[in-house]
A = this chain, B = another copy of it.
Amino acid sequence: MFLSSKNNSKKVFLDFASSTPIDKGVLDKMESYNRKYFANPSAIYSDALASKEEIDIAKRDCAGLISCNPDEIIFTSGGTESNNLAILGLFESFKKKDFKPHIITTNIEHPSVLEVCREIEKRGGEVTYLEVSDEGLVSAEDVSKAIKKETILVSVMYANNEIGTIQPIKEISKIIKKWQSEEKTSLPYFHTDACQAVLYLSTDVSKIGVDMMTLDGLKMYGPRNTGILFVKKGIKLQPVIYGGGQQNGLRSGTEDVSSISGMAFAMEIANIHREKETQRLTSIRDYAIENILKTFKGSSLNGSAKNRLPNNISICFEDQDAEFLVIALDVVGISVSYSSSCRTLKEDSSSYVISALGKKECPSSSLRITLGRETKKNDLDYLVEKLKEIIK
């Protein structure tokens, strides 16, 4: 992606895991809907019913794309809220005197999962944070060992936002189903945060075998402030936000027709591009990884080389300060991250995800380079060229 910067030098955006620009077609649709459907979808006159109808259409479209029932789609304000509703909402609906609900997750989840889990511990719940392998993979076997009678939920992200590792979701699903059938129970439920995965991997919920799934417009060339939580029929969640009872009572607040319709369109476009983009990006990703590892002495890839999102390159540069590298690259027009954006708010450039891999020298020396629809092979050549000038 080349944009002319102030001094007319090249600009290369390589932080698509942090934010994607809104697709031009999605933006056009949203703009026309903003002008057309302003009536409150909860009212009963015809303009309001037209708003409501557009939301229903979007729900059906989204449901079709992930193979679920339209009633199982809840629109939220984004991935963070979806994760909160899934995990905190389930915990609150199970919390009872004399019962301590148990949740299993991993130690490399997004902060919107980890912070919710920490809050749940404060509220009297128990959480098991599974460790990942040095490749960043959680083992289905470990999930199996951790499940007990009190386990109400397993929440494992589909693909990691920092290192792009793809978790064995189908395998974990099988392990959970085995337990359920042996113990004659419908618990634990299985939730996955698929925000980073949706552009490249199948999000057919029946095929991957999840009961709840989080999606975010921001990460899929869609609208901001808009997310989805798929919740399988029969699962009882406590709301996180109370009020007028919109979204089957699970998410109060007037729905925005424009964002919701934009979200459905973004999902449709993602679906069309998925296979081709996966192929294209895997090829230039591997080309760039090889080039970087060959060029920089002591550099190493963080996370699995094989089970990895097509758009993720996470590299540890020995003895380098990642924050300095990000700033130095920014000067020459290249945007990358040193961990996830949400982490930078902690004013700590060290990554807990890379820490979890056991690479002791790497948490503050790693760059996250994430590719997108606009990324070309020569963008990555330019990155290596500039990195060579920065790292002597």
Contacts and interface: CB of A to CB of B under 8 A. Distances in A.
Given A45-B330, A245-B111, A336-B45, A253 B78 contact: yes
B244 A342 contact: yes
Given A246-B345, A259-B225, A326-B44, A80 B253 contact: yes
Contacts of A116: 242-243
A43 B18 contact: yes
B244 A345 contact: yes
A191 interface: no
A317 B166 CA distance: 62
A155 B132 CA distance: 47
B225 A44 contact: no
A18 B51 CA distance: 13
A319 interface: no
A290 interface: no
A85 to B, nearest CB: 9
A35 interface: yes
A240 B240 contact: yes
Contact of A112 (B218, B243, B346): B243
Given A224-B254, A225-B256, A244 B44 contact: no
B240 A78 contact: no
A62 to B, nearest CB: 17
Contacts of A256: 224-225
Contacts of A79: 253
Contacts of A240: 240-241
A240 B18 CA distance: 23
Interface in A283-324: 323
B48 A245 contact: no
Interface string A40-80: 10111111100000000000000000000000000001111
B78 A39 contact: no
Interface centre among A34, A43, A44, A77 (most CB of B within 10 A): A43
A108 to B, nearest CB: 15
Interface of A: 13, 15, 18-22, 27, 30-31, 34-35, 38-40, 42-48, 77-81, 83-84, 88, 110-112, 115-116, 118-119, 218, 224-226, 240-246, 252-254, 256, 258-259, 323, 326-327, 329-330, 335-338, 340-346
13 contacts: A27-B31, A77-B81, A79-B253, A80-B242, A80-B252, A80-B253, A112-B243, A115-B244, A115-B245, A225-B256, A245-B342, A246-B342, A254-B342
Given A45-B330, A48-B335, 4 more contacts: A27-B31, A40-B341, A80-B244, A224-B258
Nearest 8 interchain pairs by C-beta: A244-B342, A112-B243, A224-B256, A77-B77, A80-B253, A45-B330, A42-B341, A115-B242
